[in-house]
Structure 1
Amino acid sequence: MAARLKPVSQQVVVITGASSGNGLAIARLAARRGAAVVLSARNAAALSVIRDEIVAEGGRAACVVADVSSMEEVEAIAATATEAFGGFDSWVNNAAVGIYGSLEQVPLADHRRVFDVNYFGTLHGSLVAARHLRERGGGAIINVGSVLADRAIVEQGPYSATKHAVQALTDTLRMELERERANVSVTLVKPGGCATPYPEHARNYMDVPPRIPPPLYHPEIIADAVVFACATPRRTLYIGSGTIASSLVSQVAPRLTDLVMEAVGTRVQQRAADVQDSTKRDNLYEPRSDGKVCTDQHVMMRHHSLALQVQKLPKLGWIGLGVATALATGARAIASRPKHSRELIGPGRGSHHE
């Protein structure tokens, strides 16, 4: 049975990683929709400015400085929400850090740090939120994942690995809460490329500045998905038809996508060397300059996602995704046949090459 959730205008929403990018977009949209928001990140100065902006526009906001890799600091986020607004109704695990470089280039300490923030930070938030929402009588937990949970990319191995882990964590959390009949919705939002300051903030071991491969979606689209999930139970929300296609292709033709990634994966994540703003570079261990929703890089970004809007429909969205999944399963079955069986199909009539 689906969880019964309050309208967003009646909610208190906690957002981690709220000082920039998707988290900032989520906070602003939730506040505009009438929710009280609890903003959390490591950058105290940026949080204070964002909180004051929301309050000046008539919204309700509180902020708390916290590193989600620490369970104690995550518990302090919940305590702040309780002190300021009497508790919370939705918890958004959005905080994340990134690294560019090969698995061998990245020191083991940095691998662990990415997991400490991206995976254990999500785990900490999920456990604290689940405990609170059980006592409160229900609510929503929304984890911001990535299409890289389905299709790892070269030069971002540690980040991809954490998003695989977050997907498994989210599925497990959902099953456990459903088994105990808790009135808690658990949603995984899976964006493709987002036009956030991620490239500026990520630690970079490549020889040139990084970028996110297009197509890029404006962070407001991710915010729309998250705020929708605060009030409407959904298992998964993909951002963009390209994200869905990438996920399906990686399942149908994994070897082909490996080869494509090997050929162009590094190049599409690099841009011509230029002067980078040192105040924003590398926030792996310490916060840097924050407060912006979008990247400083000149990129083309999409402001709408028809695929997301379809998924928001009561039944049709899931039917569409079900059909797509069925087609992918059928294609995988064809690909798994013995070679002589596939040859009987004939070129151009359903044959599959990886």
Structure 2
Amino acid sequence: MMRISLKPVSEQVIVVTGATSGNGLAITERAVRQGAAVVAVARNADALEALRVRLTAEGARVAICVADVSDMVAVERVATLALEAFGGFDTWVNNAGIGTYGTLEQVPIGDHRRVFDVNYFGTLYGSLVAVRHLRGRGGAIINIGSILGDRAILQQGPYCATKHAVQALTDTLRMELEREGAGISVTLVKPGAIDTPFPEHARNYMDKPARLPPPLYTPEVVADAVLFACAHPKRTLYAGGGGLLSSILPQAAPRLADVIMEAVGTRVQQKPGDAGAPSRQDNLFEPRDDALRGSQRVHARRTSIALQLQKLPQPVAAAGLLGAAMVLGRLVRRRGR
């Protein structure tokens, strides 16, 4: 039985899928700043090459691989490239994701399947390939889930369903690897609303432009969580206190959460008159322009106290989060009366 022992980030090779946009781009940039080598994976060949040129000019060690994670053969090619470029990898981050806006009836079945192909099966393929390489060597697998894996919302049914599935996949993978003593850490990072191009990239069937509901956080908050998990075995990390509270509310008062969602869930996900950059619209089947942040006019927080609490030793972090949950629960119960 192999004990989990993770290297410092500066000594690691890290695979990042969805590396040219949003959270993936922030993870890649932070990883190389901390001294890691990165295998950057994305569909957008031009954005990948521009990323490689920019980061290598700064002295970073970066290899790139054009791949759609919904293709198992393409994902296996990523591992081959990592072996050729750096002799292997230590952490695999399953970050690539796509989405839609619209009701379950509005979104065509083919689009439902596409969201699952990328978000769920892409995570499954990456996890299986990473396990084959890391078994007996040790390392980390980090899956990017969502607070929407705890609580579904209106207008994003397919995306929510995939994030529920990713949570179940991650938990199952962790148990299987722990049982065999594989020495592999498995972490689920659950971002809240993050200021990425997601509302622009998602295929939108609503009659108004899509947006993410506040409070928003910058992608660097997610990168902070992921890079911490690269070097510290963690089960779950919530990236953003607003997202953590949004997950606690439905557990404390599920019916009240339903009523609130039905009343405002659509409106808070719409931004009339601000659709963002036209060159970014709808990357469901083909890549579009990528960027670190969204182009809509929003405010995003740069830090998360809740995340910093979770990085503390377990008893301290648990006490802090439990205190916040108890306060929220009391407030919710009073509102419910």
Larger Rg: 1
1:298-323: CA deviation from partner (whole Å, max 9, x where unpaired): 11110010111111112311343456
Find the counterpart in structure 2 of residue 272 from structure 1: 272
Find the counterpart in structure 1 of residue 163 from structure 2: 163
Query: Is structure 2 residue 182 aligned with structure 1 residue 182?
Result: yes
Q: How many residues align?
A: 335
State the secondary structure of the residue aligned to 1:63: strand
Deviation for aligned residue 1:151: 1.1
Alpha-carbon contact 2:153-2:261 (below 8 Å) kept: yes
Find the counterpart in structure 1 of residue 300 from structure 2: 301
Q: Which amino acid aligns with 1:301?
A: A
Alpha-carbon contact 2:275-2:296 (below 8 Å) kept: no
How do residues 342-353 of structure 1 correspond to structure 2 at under 5 angstroms? 353=336
Structure 2 segments unaligned to the other structure (5+ residues): none
Find the counterpart in structure 2 of residue 340 from structure 1: none
- Computed over aligned residues only, the root mean square deviation of the Cα atoms, in angstroms, reads 2.0
Structure 1 segments unaligned to the other structure (5+ residues): 333-347
Q: What is the percent sequence identity of the aligned residues?
A: 64
Find the counterpart in structure 1 of residue 18 from structure 2: 17
Find the counterpart in structure 2 of residue 219 from structure 1: 219
How do residues 21-170 of structure 1 correspond to structure 2 at under 5 angstroms? 21-135=22-136, 137-170=137-170
1:148-184: CA deviation from partner (whole Å, max 9, x where unpaired): 0111110000000100000000000000000001111
Structure 2: how far apart are the matches of 1:176 and 1:161?
A: 23
Alpha-carbon contact 2:274-2:296 (below 8 Å) kept: no
Alpha-carbon contact 2:276-2:294 (below 8 Å) kept: no
How do residues 274-353 of structure 1 correspond to structure 2 at under 5 angstroms? 274=274, 276-290=276-290, 292-315=291-314, 316-321=316-321, 327=326, 353=336
Alpha-carbon contact 1:215-1:301 (below 8 Å) kept: yes
Return structure 1 stretches of 4+ with deviation > 4 angstroms: 322-325
Structure 1: how far apart are the matches of 2:206 and 2:18?
A: 25
Structure 1: how far apart are the matches of 2:322 and 2:71?
A: 38
- TM-aligned CA distance change 1:200 to 1:351, over 3 Å: closer
1:268-299: CA deviation from partner (whole Å, max 9, x where unpaired): 11111356533211000001111x11000111
Find the counterpart in structure 2 of residue 338 from structure 1: none
Deviation for aligned residue 1:242: 1.8
Alpha-carbon contact 2:276-2:295 (below 8 Å) kept: no
- TM-aligned CA distance change 1:320 to 1:29, over 3 Å: same
Q: Which amino acid aligns with 2:156?
A: Q
Structure 2: how far apart are the matches of 1:352 and 1:272?
A: 30
State the secondary structure of the residue aligned to 1:238: strand
Structure 2: how far apart are the matches of 1:275 and 1:181?
A: 49
Alpha-carbon contact 1:92-1:144 (below 8 Å) kept: yes
State the secondary structure of the residue aligned to 1:279: helix
Deviation for aligned residue 1:3: 1.6
1:305-354: CA deviation from partner (whole Å, max 9, x where unpaired): 011111111231134345666x59xx69xxxxxxxxxxxxxxx9x76838
Normalized against structure 1, the TM-score is what? Answer: 0.91
Alpha-carbon contact 2:140-2:230 (below 8 Å) kept: yes
Deviation for aligned residue 1:245: 1.4
State the secondary structure of the residue aligned to 2:199: helix
Alpha-carbon contact 1:218-1:302 (below 8 Å) kept: yes
Structure 1: how far apart are the matches of 2:110 and 2:12?
A: 39
Structure 2: how far apart are the matches of 1:351 and 1:296?
A: 39
Structure 2: how far apart are the matches of 1:40 and 1:184?
A: 22
Alpha-carbon contact 1:2-1:185 (below 8 Å) kept: no
Q: Which amino acid aligns with 1:303?
A: R
